[in-house]
A = this chain, B = another copy of it.
Amino acid sequence: MTDATTPETKTPWGGRFEHAPGEFQRRFGASLPVDSRLYAEDIAGSIAHARMLAQQGIISADDGEAIESGLIGILGDIEAGRFTFETADEDVHMAVEAELTRRIGEAGKRLHTARSRNDQVATDTRLHAKRRALEAIEDVDHLRRTLIRLAEAHADTVMPGYTHLQKAQPVLFAHHMLAYFWMLTRDAARLRAAYAAADALPLGSAALAGTTFPIDRTAVARELDFAAVIPNSLDAVSDRDFLVDITYACALGMVHLSRLAEEPIIWSSDEFGFVTLADDWSTGSSIMPQKKNPDFAELVRGKTGRAVGDLVSLLVTLKGLPLAYNKDMQEDKEPAFDAIDTFEDCLTAMAGMLSTMWVEAQRMRQGSLGGFMAATDLADHLAGRGVPFREAHEIVGKLVLACEREGRTLQQLTAAELAEASPAFGPDAPQWVDIDSVVARRDTPGGTAPGRVAEQLMLAREAFAADEAWLESRCD
C-alpha cells in the first residue's frame, strides 16, 4: 500500500478517502471468491446496460460498441481460461470493469453511468438464481424419471409397508417409489416459485433511489429476459427474498432426500436385505474387509444439515436490517449457492444409486408375510359383516396376541378357529389374509392395488410431462 498507487486502482470510491484498507481488510471484505461465479451474468447485465445507455443517448454509440465488444472479449477470455480474477479485486463487478478500462480506456469508465453496485449485484444474482433454479429443476426431474422407471419395473413387487418402522400393511414397491415422486414434484414447484421470485429487474434503481439519467428499464428487462421491472428502487436493492426462496426449496428438498436416503440405508442392512447396492455406489472399510457401506445415501442424509444451516444463515443475516442496502447482504450468496450445489449433487447421487441398486423382490415378498399385516383386513371383514369397527379391531387384536404367543401367522388360522374368536367371521375369512389379496383390496384412488398404482403412474407421467414442457419453455 504505497502512496505511489493511485487511489482508483485501489478502491472504487476514491476521492473522499485518504487511506485505503490494508491486506486483512481486503481479504475480509472481498466477495470475489464467491461472486466470481457470477461473471457471465455480470457481463450479460453490463452489455444490456451499455446498449440501453447508447440507445438513450446517455453515452455515445461508439462508447457503447467499445464497451460491448470489450466485454465480449473478456467473457471469451475468462471462459478460455486466459483471464483470471486477482485476489486484489474486491468483487467481480470491479474486476470486470477495471479490466474493461484497461482494454478500452475512457469508455470503460462510462459503463457505470446510471447504475450502482447495489442494483448491479442484485441484477447479477437474480440472473444467476434463475439459471440455477432451472438447473436444479432438471436434476429434480432426473430423479423423478428414475423413480418412475423403478415404479414401472416393479409393478408387481410386494413389500411390507411400514408405519413407525413396524410392519403395517403390504404395499407395492412401485407405490412406495411414487410417494417420493410426488414429494419431488412439490420440490420442483417450489423451485419454480423461487424462479418467479427472481424474475424481475432491479437494474435502474441505482444506489437506492433511482437515477437522474433518462434510462429505459423496460428495454433492459426485455434484453435480459426478466418478466417485470421492480417497482420500488429501495426494495430492488435490498430484497433477497428470491435467494431465501431458492435456499428454502433446496433445504426442504434435502429433507425429502434425507427421507429417501434412509430407506436404502435400512433396506441394505443384513436384517432387512431388501436391496443390494451396486459396488460403484457403495464403499468399503479401511479395516473391515467384509464391509460394503451405503455411504452415498448417508452423505445425502448428512448433507441435509448443510442446507438447513444455509437457510438459517440467510434468515439470521437478514434479520433486523433497516432499509436500504446494508453490507450484511454480501453474505447472501454463499449459503444460497451452497444449498443449490448440495441439492443438485445429492439429487444426482440418489438417482445414480437408486437406478443401479438391485431390488431383492423375493426378500420383500417374504417379509410381507410376517408382522400380521393382514390384521386390518380381518377387522374390515368383520366390520363389513356388521361388527362396529372398534369391536372388530379389539377381536382381531386378541387374535394377533394369541398367534404371537404361539408363534403362528394369521395365514395359519383356520376358519374354525376364527369362528371361535368371533361368530361374525364368515367362512371366507381365511381368504382375507392372503397377501396379494390384501394389496389388491386397497382399490380406491391413491390406494396400493395394482390397478390404482397403474392409474397413479399415468398421473405421474402427466405431471412430469407438464413440468418438462414448462422447463423447455424457459430454457430456450
Q: How far is the CA of A299 from the CA of B251 in the complex (A)?
A: 23
Q: How far is the CA of A186 from the CA of B194 in the complex (A)?
A: 11
- CB-defined interface of A382-419 with B at 8 Å, one 1/0 digit per residue? 01100011110111111111000000000000000000
Tell me whether B204 and A445 are in contact (CB under 8 A).
yes
Tell me whether B19 and A164 are in contact (CB under 8 A).
no
Q: How far is the CA of A96 from the CA of B99 in the complex (A)?
A: 41
Interface presence of A46 (CB below 8 A): no
Contacts of A186 in B (CB 8 A): 197, 241
Contacts of A397 in B (CB 8 A): 13-17, 284, 289-290
Q: How many copies does the complex hold?
A: 4
Tell me whether A320 and B259 are in contact (CB under 8 A).
yes
Interface presence of A301 (CB below 8 A): yes
Interface presence of A84 (CB below 8 A): no
Interface residues of A in 142-198 (CB under 8 A from B): 160-171, 175-176, 178-179, 181-183, 186, 190, 193, 197
Q: How far is the CA of A237 from the CA of B208 in the complex (A)?
A: 38
Interface presence of A125 (CB below 8 A): no
- CB-defined interface of A360-399 with B at 8 Å, one 1/0 digit per residue? 0000000100111101111110011000111101111111
Q: What is the interface of chain A mostly: helix, strand, loop, or mixed? A: helix
Query: Known contacts A269-B166, A299-B29; is A400 also within 8 Å of B258 by CB?
Result: no
With beta carbons under 8 angstroms apart, the residue of B204, B327, B380 that contacts A298 is B327
Query: Known contacts A270-B371, A393-B14; is A287 also within 8 Å of B112 by CB?
Result: yes
Smallest CB gap from A392: residue in B:
B289
Tell me whether A286 and B12 are in contact (CB under 8 A).
yes
Tell me whether A302 and B325 are in contact (CB under 8 A).
no
Query: Known contacts A290-B375, A371-B290, A446-B217; is A232 also within 8 Å of B182 by CB?
Result: yes
Kindly provide the distance from the CB of A362 to the nearest chain B CB, expressed in whole angstroms.
14
Contacts of A352 in B (CB 8 A): 24-25
Tell me whether A305 and B331 are in contact (CB under 8 A).
yes
Contacts of A117 in B (CB 8 A): 285-287
Contacts of A298 in B (CB 8 A): 164, 326-328
- CB-defined interface of A254-283 with B at 8 Å, one 1/0 digit per residue? 010011011101101111100000111111
Q: How far is the CA of A64 from the CA of B57 in the complex (A)?
A: 77
With beta carbons under 8 angstroms apart, the residue of B261, B269, B316 that contacts A309 is B316
Query: Known contacts A168-B291, A232-B456, A390-B109; is A324 also within 8 Å of B445 by CB?
Result: no
Q: How far is the CA of A303 from the CA of B317 in the complex (A)?
A: 7
Q: How far is the CA of A76 from the CA of B396 in the complex (A)?
A: 35
Tell me whether A446 and B231 are in contact (CB under 8 A).
yes
Tell me whether A208 and B280 are in contact (CB under 8 A).
no
Q: How far is the CA of A441 from the CA of B459 in the complex (A)?
A: 56
With beta carbons under 8 angstroms apart, the residue of B15, B294, B446 that contacts A164 is B294
Tell me whether B210 and A13 are in contact (CB under 8 A).
no
Tell me whether B15 and A390 are in contact (CB under 8 A).
no
With beta carbons under 8 angstroms apart, the residue of B210, B241, B281 that contacts A442 is B210
Those 6 A-B pairs whose CB atoms lie nearest each other, nearest first: A15-B397, A13-B284, A210-B447, A309-B313, A302-B328, A305-B317
